[in-house]
C-alpha cells in the first residue's frame, strides 16, 4: 500500500509506477537515507538504479553537499585511481599539476559508483580502505588524505558470481552491501509498463505538438507481456519510435503494435543474447556475442579441416574412429556407427602413383578432391571473414567518432557499447589520433 511519503518521493523524482517491488525499493531508500550506511543497489541495466542514489542523497543530511555519479565501467583502468583519489604533479605522464579526486570533492557529500563490478581489483583494495577508515592516498603521494564521502554503489551483475571468478573482492562486497536495494526489471512491474509508455508518448506529443499515441486494451495486454531486456530505456525508445512513425488516428491495436515489437526484436536469437548457457558470454553485449560466435565457428572449421585432411592422408585409416575421437566437434550432429559407412571409410586409399587428385573408394566410384593448398582456400574463408569483420568494425567506430565530434561517451552510446569497451577498440585499431 502506497503511503503519502512514497507518493511525494515519486512525484519529486519523477518515478512512474505502482508495483509492490518498486514501492518496496523506494521505501528502503527513504529509510536508509537518514543514515550514513553504505548502500548497494542491484538491478538490470536501464531499470533506473541511479534515480535511487539521488533519492538517498536528497533525503539525507548530506543533501547540501556534493553529489557525483561515477560510471566505473567507462573509466580506463589506467586512470580510474587518479579519477577517484586524485594525483600529485608529475606522478605519471601528463600529470602537469596536482588534482583532487572524486572522494576529496565529495567530502561531506555522496559519491555514486555505478557499474562497481567493472572496477579493477587494485582500485577495489583502495576503495575498501576508504570505506573502513575514510583514508586514501593520492596517486604518487605518501600523504594520507581523509574523506567523509558516503558511498552508494550499483551493479547489474551478480557480484557473488564475480567473487567466485576472482573478479571482485569478497570483503569489499560485504562492506558495500550493508543495505541492499533491489530495483525490479520492467517485466516484473506489470501495469507499470503501460503507465510508462503513456508517459513517454505524452511527453513526446507535448514536446512536438502532435496528437499522442494510444493503445487498445488488447495492445496494452500485449505490451505488458514483453520481456524488455533493455528495460525503461528500451520502452522509451519504442514509445518515441511509434510516436514518430505512426500516422492516421494514432490508435494502435494489437496487430499494429506487434509489427513494431517484431521490428525492434534483436537480430540474434534471444537464447544467445541472454548468454545464460553460452560459455564465456556473461556481461557481453549483442555485438560481442556475435563476434565470439564467428571466432568459435572459425576455430571449429579449422579443426574439421585438419580432421578431413588427416582422413585423406592416412590411406587405410578408419574415418569413423577419427570422428569418434573428436566427438566434441560433432556433438550437435546425430550420427551412429553405421557398419557400411565404417566399411567404406576403411576402403579409402590415396593413389601413391601421383594421382593425388582422386580417392578410390569402390570400383567405378571415384571422389575427386582438390589439392591441400586449394582445399585451404575453398573450405576455410574464415580468415577473410575475420578481416572483413574487423575492417567493418573499424569503419563503424570511425564513423561514430566523427559523427559525435570525437566525444567517446556519445560515440559509445551510439554504438551500444560501454565507453571502456570503445577505449579498448580505439587502442586495438590504433585510432588514438582520431579520438
345-358 pLDDT per residue, tens: 444 444 444 444 44
Instruction: Please give the residue that has the higher pLDDT: either 399 or 21.
Output: 21
Q: Cell 593425388 belongs to which residue?
A: 356
171: phi then psi, degrees, rounded to nearest 5: -65, -35
Looking at the domain 190-263, which fold is it?
Helicase, Ruva Protein; domain 3 (1.10.8)
* Contact in structure between 182 and 39 (CB atoms under 8 Å): no
Q: Please, which pLDDT band fits residue 314 given cuts at 50, 70 and 90?
A: low
282 pLDDT exceeds 80?
Answer: no
225: phi then psi, degrees, rounded to nearest 5: -85, -10
98 pLDDT exceeds 90?
Answer: yes
402 pLDDT exceeds 70?
Answer: yes
Cα separation of the two ends of the chain: 51
Lowest mean pLDDT among 69-83, 257-271, 312-326, 360-374: 360-374
pLDDT at 217: 95
Give which of 399, 386, 388 is closest to 434, Cα–Cα.
Answer: 399
The pLDDT of 112-125, averaged and rounded, is: 96
Element holding 94 (H helix, E strand): none
Q: Where are the alpha helices (DSSP H) in 209-354?
A: 217-224, 231-245, 254-263, 270-274, 286-313, 319-325, 339-346
Sequence ranges of the domains in the chain: 4-184, 190-263, 293-379, 382-428
Q: Please, which pLDDT band fits residue 370 given cuts at 50, 70 and 90?
A: very low
* Contact in structure between 316 and 348 (CB atoms under 8 Å): yes
- What number of other Cβ atoms are within 10 A of residue 178's Cβ? 15
Instruction: Please give the residue that has the higher pLDDT: either 5 or 213.
Output: 213
Lowest mean pLDDT among 248-262, 318-332, 334-348, 389-403: 334-348
* Share above pLDDT 90 across residues of the chain, in percent, rounded to a whole number: 54
- The reply to whether the predicted model has a pTM over 0.75 is no
81 vs 102: CA distance, rounded Å: 10
pLDDT at 293: 73
pLDDT at 355: 41
pLDDT at 233: 92
Instruction: Report how far Cα 163 is from the mean position of its chain's Cα atoms.
Output: 19
pLDDT at 360: 41
Lowest mean pLDDT among 1-5, 50-54, 423-427: 1-5
96: phi then psi, degrees, rounded to nearest 5: -80, -10
Q: Considering only the top CATH level, what class is 382-428?
A: mainly alpha
Lowest mean pLDDT among 62-76, 361-375, 398-412: 361-375
| pLDDT tens, residue by residue, 213-241 | 999 999 999 999 999 999 999 999 999 99
Instruction: Please give the residue that has the higher pLDDT: either 101 or 2.
Output: 101
What mean pLDDT is reported for the chain? 80
Give which of 30, 49, 158, 55 is closest to 113, Cα–Cα.
Answer: 49
> Which residues are 144's β-sheet partners?
137
How long a stretch of residues is the chain? 435
The CATH architecture that domain 4-184 belongs to is 3-Layer(aba) Sandwich (3.40)
pLDDT at 269: 41
Amino acid at each position: 500500500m502506497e503511503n503519502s511519503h512514497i507518493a511525494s518521493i515519486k512525484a519529486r523524482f519523477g518515478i512512474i509506477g505502482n508495483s509492490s517491488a518498486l514501492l518496496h525499493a523506494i521505501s528502503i531508500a527513504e529509510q536508509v537515507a537518514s543514515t550514513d550506511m553504505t548502500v548497494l543497489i542491484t538491478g538490470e541495466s536501464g531499470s533506473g538504479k541511479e534515480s535511487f542514489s539521488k533519492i538517498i542523497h536528497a533525503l539525507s543530511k548530506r543533501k547540501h553537499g556534493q553529489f557525483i555519479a561515477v560510471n566505473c565501467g567507462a573509466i580506463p583502468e589506467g586512470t580510474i585511481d587518479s579519477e577517484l583519489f586524485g594525483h600529485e604533479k608529475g606522478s605519471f605522464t601528463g600529470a602537469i599539476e596536482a588534482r583532487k579526486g572524486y572522494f576529496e570533492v565529495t567530502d561531506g557529500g555522496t559519491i555514486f559508483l555505478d557499474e562497481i563490478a567493472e572496477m579493477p581489483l587494485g582500485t577495489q583494495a583502495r576503495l575498501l580502505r576508504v570505506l573502513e577508515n575514510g583514508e586514501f592516498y593520492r596517486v604518487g603521494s605518501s600523504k594520507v588524505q581523509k574523506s567523509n564521502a558516503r558511498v552508494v554503489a550499483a551493479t547489474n551483475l551478480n557480484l557473488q558470481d564475480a567473487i567466485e571468478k576472482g573478479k571482485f573482492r569478497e570483503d569489499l562486497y560485504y562492506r558495500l552491501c550493508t543495505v541492499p536495494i533491489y530495483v525490479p526489471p520492467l517485466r516484473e512491474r506489470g501495469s507499470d509498463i503501460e503507465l510508462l509508455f503513456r508517459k513517454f508518448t505524452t511527453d513526446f506529443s507535448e514536446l512536438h505538438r502532435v496528437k499522442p499515441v494510444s493503445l487498445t486494451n488488447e495492445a496494452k495486454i500485449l505490451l505488458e507481456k514483453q520481456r524488455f531486456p533493455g528495460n525503461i530505456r528500451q520502452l522509451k525508445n519504442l514509445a518515441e519510435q511509434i510516436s514518430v512513425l505512426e500516422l492516421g488516428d494514432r490508435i494502435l491495436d494489437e496487430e499494429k503494435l506487434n509489427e513494431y515489437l517484431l521490428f525492434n526484436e534483436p537480430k540474434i536469437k534471444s537464447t544467445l543474447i541472454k548468454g545464460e548457457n553460452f560459455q564465456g558470454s556473461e556481461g557481453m553485449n549483442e555485438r560481442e556475442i556475435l563476434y565470439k560466435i564467428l571466432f568459435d565457428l572459425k576455430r571449429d572449421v579449422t579443426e574439421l579441416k585438419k580432421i578431413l585432411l588427416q582422413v585423406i592422408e592416412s590411406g587405410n585409416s578408419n574415418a569413423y574412429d577419427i570422428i569418434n575421437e573428436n566427438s566434441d566437434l560433432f556433438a550437435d550432429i546425430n550420427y551412429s556407427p553405421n557398419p557400411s559407412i565404417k566399411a567404406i571409410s576403411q576402403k579409402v586409399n590415396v593413389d601413391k602413383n601421383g594421382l593425388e587428385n582422386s580417392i578410390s573408394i569402390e570400383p567405378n566410384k571415384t571422389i575427386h578432391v582438390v589439392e591441400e593448398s586449394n582445399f585451404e582456400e575453398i573450405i576455410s574463408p574464415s580468415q577473410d571473414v575475420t578481416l572483413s569483420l574487423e575492417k567493418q568494425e573499424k569503419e563503424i567506430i570511425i564513423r561514430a567518432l566523427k559523427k559525435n565530434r570525437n566525444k567517446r561517451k556519445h560515440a559509445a552510446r551510439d554504438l551500444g557499447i560501454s565507453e571502456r569497451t570503445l577505449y579498448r577498440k580505439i587502442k586495438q585499431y590504433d585510432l588514438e589520433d582520431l579520438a
